[in-house]
Amino acid sequence: MDLEQIVQRILLTRRDLTREEVLKLIYEKKRSAEDYLLDEVAARIVATDLGVEIPQAEEHFKSEVPIGALVSGLNDVTLTARVIFVYPIQTFSKLDLTEGKVARLLLADKSGTLNLVLWNDKLSVIETGKVKQGQIVRVSHGYVREGLDGKLELHVGQRGNVEVSPLDAIESNYPLLDQFIDKVGNLTQKSKRASVLGVVCVVYPSSEFKKKDESKGKVRRLRLRDETGEVSVVFWNEKVDELGEVKQNDQMRIMNARVKRQPDGRIELHVENAVQIEKLGRQPVSAPISPSEAARKIAYLKDEGGPFTIEATVATTPNVREVITAKKEKVLVASFDLSDDTGKIRVSLWRKHAELGKELMVGSRIKIKNAYAKRGFSNLLELTSRTSTIIEILSKP
């Protein structure tokens, strides 16, 4: 353990002392021995005088291995790294038909990243909330194996141990979480997973749907932006509840979201079970209106995409009918024309939005938020609703 590590350990234990006071004590100890003491030796003597326990030189920290130097088959491995991501606990059936548990942590040091695998009783550090994203951990007596994806994993067996926030670990020696954040403008369909940090610019209400097993599911959308662009983020089921109340200008960090490419080429991030959500407070400066919130004229809709906001007048009486989808599902759809001073466009409202079609009449002025444009059978552009669409009746004739 070098001088700086000993000083850091003293400061963590004796918070009544400043760094300058500790260094002064070490200097005076060296001077009293007429400089015959090495810096580390003098620091250890000062630590003992202050009642701070310092590991002996032969202890585990001397045998620590950086992540980048690991190879499959290594045993009795000790390493220190930062927790980048905590995956949810999974259960499985053992050969004796009892239930087993396993969980993973994504760790990183300056040489690379790898998954730490914890089994059964070793999961207590996760179950008790002792280990969290962003913390530094020291793993001792681990063994290295190849995972199913061919990447190296560090496993903690019966002899292994996970120490959270070791006193001699120096924060600046380990990469920060923000180094693992993707820029929104750089997301492509080639990415399977992404982590983003941004500001909420549009919030849509949550909605319920029926799953294949007839149980109820939840979904909610919002749009997140950073300095490089905007992206739609879709929250599913329990993640809708975890998200809780969210407002425009809230800052959020989303880790390990699934990247999905829509048929129109748009990239979406989907937040499911194995994704971490962190709210970071509100952005102090008011955000400008998102392009998806600004109302567009019909003539300015040139191609497929969205989301769009349209303010226009109902030009034809809505035709509300029941149709059968490709999934053999019976749903309602309401079709009618909208017009403004620049042109006319066909609109299709689906499912719960179709009910509103029964209330509309020619001359009603409405505002449709989060609508999407696509090509119809005659290759003409038309607007269609999705679960996140919001419709307001501004006036009636």
Q: Environment class of residue 191 by beta-carbon count within 10 Å: exposed (0-12), middle (13-18) or buried (19+)?
A: middle
Bigger pLDDT: 149 vs 38: 149
**φ, ψ for residue 208, nearest 5 deg:** -110, 155
Q: Residue 63: its pLDDT value, please?
A: 60
Cα→Cα distances 199→176, 179, 322, Å: 20, 18, 40
How do beta strands 381-384 and 343-350 pair? parallel
pLDDT at 261 over 60: yes
3-state secondary structure of 165: coil
Query: What does the pLDDT look like over 158-204, one tens digit per residue?
Result: 888 999 988 888 888 899 888 889 988 888 777 789 999 999 988 99
DSSP one-letter code for 126: H
Domains of the chain listed by start with CATH number: 3-49 (no CATH), 60-173 (2.40.50.140), 181-282 (2.40.50.140), 295-395 (2.40.50.140)
How do the residues of the chain divide into helix, strand and coil, expressed in percent and rounded to 5? 20, 45, 40
Own/partner long-range contacts of 4-11 (Cβ < 8 Å, ≥24 apart): 4/170, 5/168, 5/170, 6/40, 6/43, 6/44, 6/47, 6/54, 6/168, 7/43, 8/167, 8/168, 8/170, 9/47, 9/52, 9/54, 9/167, 9/168, 10/43, 10/46, 10/47, 10/50, 10/52
Q: How confident is the model at residue 59 (pLDDT cuts 50, 70, 90)?
A: very low
Q: Please report, rounded to a whole number, the percentage of residues in the chain having pLDDT higher than 70.
A: 92
Q: Which residue has the tokens 């003992």?
A: 48
Q: How far apart are CA 279 and CA 48, in angstroms?
A: 42
How do beta strands 90-93 and 229-236 pair? unpaired
Query: What does the pLDDT look like over 197-230, one tens digit per residue?
Result: 999 988 999 999 988 888 899 999 999 988 888 8
Task: Select from 290, 284, 276 the least CA-distant residue to 249.
Answer: 284
Query: What does the pLDDT look like over 265-296, one tens digit per residue?
Result: 778 999 998 888 988 877 654 444 444 455 67
DSSP one-letter code for 124: H
pLDDT at 392 over 80: yes
- Where do the H-state alpha helices sit in the chain? 3-13, 19-32, 39-49, 124-127, 238-243
